[in-house]
Amino acid sequence: MHNGRRPQSNEKPKDFKKSMKELLKFCRPYLIPILIAIVLAVISSILSIIGPDKLRDITNTIMAGLRMGIDMDKVKSISLTLLIIYVISAIFGYIEQYIMAVVTNKFSKELRKQITEKINRMPLKYFDNHSYGDVLSRVTNDVDTLSMTLNQSLGTLVTAITLLFGSVIMMVITNGLMALTAIVSSLIGFAFMFLVIRNSQKYFERLQNEIGNLNGHIEEMYSGHNVMRSYNGKKEANQKFNEINDRIYENVKKGQFLSGLMHPFMGFIGNFGYVCVCIVGALLSINNIIDFGVIVAFMLYVRLFTQPMTQIAQALSNLQSTAAASERVFEFLDEEEMEDESSLTKKLSPKDIKGEIIFNHVKFGYDEDKTIIKDFNVKVNPGEKIAIVGPTGAGKTTMVNLLMKFYNINSGDILIDGISTKELTRDNIHKLFIMVLQDTWVFEGTIKENIKYNKPNVSSERIVEVCKIVGLDHFIKTLPKGYDTVIGDNDSLSSGQRQLLTIARGMIEDAPFLILDEATSSVDTRTEELVQKAMDKLTVGRTSFIIAHRLSTIKNADLILMMDNGNIVEQGTHEELLKLNGKYAELYNSQFENIE
């Protein structure tokens, strides 16, 4: 299986409206708390809008008092009302922020959960065409972007819209002419804002994709760091990193530059409207059309009118990142899954398995237009040890993947004890097999936890027994805490020790079928002999499939299948195939051609 990256040309075109619809659809379970937060934000904003009206009353009272004497009782009453309004507004604002913080965190938690569950339902074909780093970027970076921008933008957007329309209403009620002055002077700001949003969206979309590409490249270079260094590939790796990094820089620069224009420009529009209102207000006040308090109130209303315009611009800018991230996340969630197996009722119990497997005219291709397995036919009797050999690309591992139902066959059938794998669930099939692969996997945990992975009821005595069989016990006892030593994927275990660990894990599993895919390829000759003896013990009473390049390890197989171009070209025991003097004999003898 390769870890390729999807070409940029195959990416789906991004749609802002579609992305936001998907996001709103996912937010439905959180609708009630979100609505409560929105209501609180609206009330908080309305209370803030009432404030200037009270300040106008205070100003008019003071101005009248300068002529006839200040009514301090009225000033105190209005001030107390104003204080209560602002305190209540602040409390509601705090509650709204708290609700949004809780909701967005629950939202991101649920989104990560769905992505994780989705990964387990995805066919392996998807991961053949997408880098692991890109998938991880969707789980981490894109979900974090969604959570952060929703938390910051939704409440701000609601508050800003309420302030905008509320201040317009209050201005019109207070004085129509001055309201018209403030609105007209700010219209140019709206036009500029939407122009910027339309032109900057594409850069945010490209940014999220390039971040996924960068994560994929880093994951590849990190996992293959030793190979990259040994082949002097540092320069090429750095060059590729710099190319992706430069594209990220360009998209960030252009997107942030356009978005950044909004704040100073909207600030200018606000100040411009402020000046216009002051001039018009002064002229009306001179002509005794309005009171001085109206001018003071309008100064605040203009601020309340232009400030939310800036906030709306910033919120919409953040929502651009949200749309780009949500497109990637929901695109992944909408990917085609493995077919639903809930209707499959047949089940094979590992304890009742006889061990017969039949491949009946199996045809398969990873792509529809390219068939790899063309017509595979073989019957495996219970307890037999079947070796599958052949040149690279002959289809050996593919047959194992089909047997495990990692991929669905195009035509033909695979029967286990007479029951088609099409009638069995993947989970059921996986319980029937022990798999020891060439690629080792060690996770963060103790050696004991690694060996008894997903088998909590295995006793410590059984683990020690298995480790003695595979020759791992001595090494484990040299570790500081023995079987309780914590190891991880990055620990300095040799490839052979890691392979022995995975072999021990396979021996713990009690299943009727065994698959060994190049299981001894990472161990030395002496260890291979020890492991081979352990494998011989493991194969007793089990139907076994062994894929091996070292043909010396499969001499005692009951049946050897020589594959080439997806077909069985020769089959028989080791001695029988050597007598044929065909492709198997040629492959076997090639191992000794360079030995003097």
| Residue 220 vs residue 174, higher pLDDT | 174
* pLDDT tens sequence across 276-299: 777 877 777 777 777 767 777 777
Integer-rounded Cα Rg, in Å, for the chain is 35
| 416 confidence band (pLDDT: 50, 70, 90) | very high
Q: How far is CA 428 from CA 344, 346, 350, 404, in A?
A: 10, 9, 9, 10
Q: What per-residue confidence (pLDDT) applies to 231? A: 62
Residue 247 is encoded by which pair of tokens? 């594209």
pLDDT at 415: 92
Contact present, 553 and 582 (Cβ < 8 Å): no
pLDDT digits (tens, 9 = 90+) for 84-124: 777 887 787 778 778 777 887 888 888 888 888 888 888 87
E-strand stretches of 65-137: none
pLDDT exceeds cutoff 50 at 10: no
The CATH classification of domain 428-592, taken from the options 3.40.50.300, 3.40.309.10, 3.40.50.720, 3.30.342.10: 3.40.50.300
Q: Which residue has the higher pLDDT, 168 or 402?
A: 402
pLDDT band at 227 (very low <50, low <70, confident <90, very high): low
Separation between Cα atoms, residue 382 and residue 375, nearest integer Å: 23
The average pLDDT across 317-343 equals: 79
Structural contact between residues 467 and 504, judged by C-beta atoms closer than 8 angstroms: yes
The mean per-residue pLDDT over the stretch 65-70 comes to 50
pLDDT at 41: 67
Under 8 Å CB-to-CB from 328, ≥6 apart: which residues? Answer: 137, 138, 142, 208, 209, 212
Instruction: Tell me the mean pLDDT in the region 421-436.
Output: 87
In whole angstroms, give the CA distance from residue 558 to residue 386.
Answer: 6
Residue 276, token pair as written in the block? 């216009």
Which of the two residues, 497 and 215, has the higher pLDDT score? 497
**Structural element, H or E, at residue 379:** strand 373-380
Contact 62, 107 (CB under 8 A): no
The domain spans of the chain are 19-333, 428-592
- Residues 360 and 414: their CA atoms lie apart, in Å, by 6
Instruction: Note the pLDDT tens digit of each residue in 148-189.
Output: 777 777 777 777 777 777 777 777 877 778 778 777 777 766
Rank 2-16, 123-137, 261-275, 356-370 by mean pLDDT and report only the highest: 356-370
360 three-class SS: strand
* Class of domain 19-333 as given by CATH: mainly alpha
pLDDT band at 70; cut points 50, 70, 90: low
Higher-confidence residue: 195 or 240?
A: 240
pLDDT above 60 (res 490) = no
pLDDT band (50, 70, 90) for residue 56: low
Specify the higher pLDDT residue, 407 or 24: 407
pLDDT level of residue 11 (50, 70, 90 thresholds): very low
Average of per-residue pLDDT values in the chain: 76
Report whether pLDDT(557) > 70. Answer: yes
Q: What pLDDT is stored for residue 414 in this prediction? A: 92
pTM of the complete model:
0.61
Using the structure block, give the residue that is written with the tokens 């960068």: 214
Residue 413 pLDDT level (bands cut at 50, 70, 90): very high
Q: Give the closest residue to 333 by CA, choosing from 2, 26, 11, 541.
A: 26
